[in-house]
Amino acid sequence: MAMSELHQQIHAALLTIKESGPKDEYLGICGNVSQIMDLHCDLDDDVEHILTELFSDWPDKSFSTAYPIGNWTNKPSKLFWHFHGSRKPMWDRQTKYGAARWALLEHCLNKLNQRE
């Protein structure tokens, strides 16, 4: 199945993150995609739906679709807000949390590449 124009835009945003690093290291994938796509502070519903769909079959996902990273804790949202609220970089590959974020990014790119 070919990628729609929106899928292509999301793919380009994810690829930008992979190649250049996150635009904001204190935001997750959704926040960075939103900034790269110039969606201001909120994700468009269609973009959010596609990202949630991409996250849904990641083998290491948490039970939370909004906070897919943190399958080793029963409070992935609390983990996200700990990093975000304390201004700790969410993309540090040397941390379990940051490494998981990069792995999820790669998973999303692979899923979109399968659509080409």
pLDDT in tens, 37-68: 987 555 678 888 999 999 999 999 988 878 89
pLDDT by residue (tens digit) across 4-42? Answer: 899 999 999 999 999 999 999 988 999 899 999 987 555
What local confidence, expressed as pLDDT, does residue 1 receive? 58
Number of domains in the chain: 1
Residue 115 pLDDT grade (very low, low, confident, very high; cuts 50, 70, 90) = confident
Domain that holds residue 47: 5-115
CA distances from 52 to 18, 46, 66, 88, 93 (A): 18, 10, 7, 24, 22
Q: What is the CA radius of gyration of the chain?
A: 13
Average pLDDT over residues 94-105: 94
Question: Distance between CA 34 and CA 48 in Å, rounded?
Answer: 9
How far is Cα of residue 59 from the mean position of the Cα atoms in its chain?
14
Question: Distance between CA 73 and CA 83 in Å, rounded?
Answer: 14
**CA-based torsion, 74, 52, 59, 14: positive or negative:** negative
For residues 79 and 70, the answer to whether their CB atoms sit within 8 Å is yes
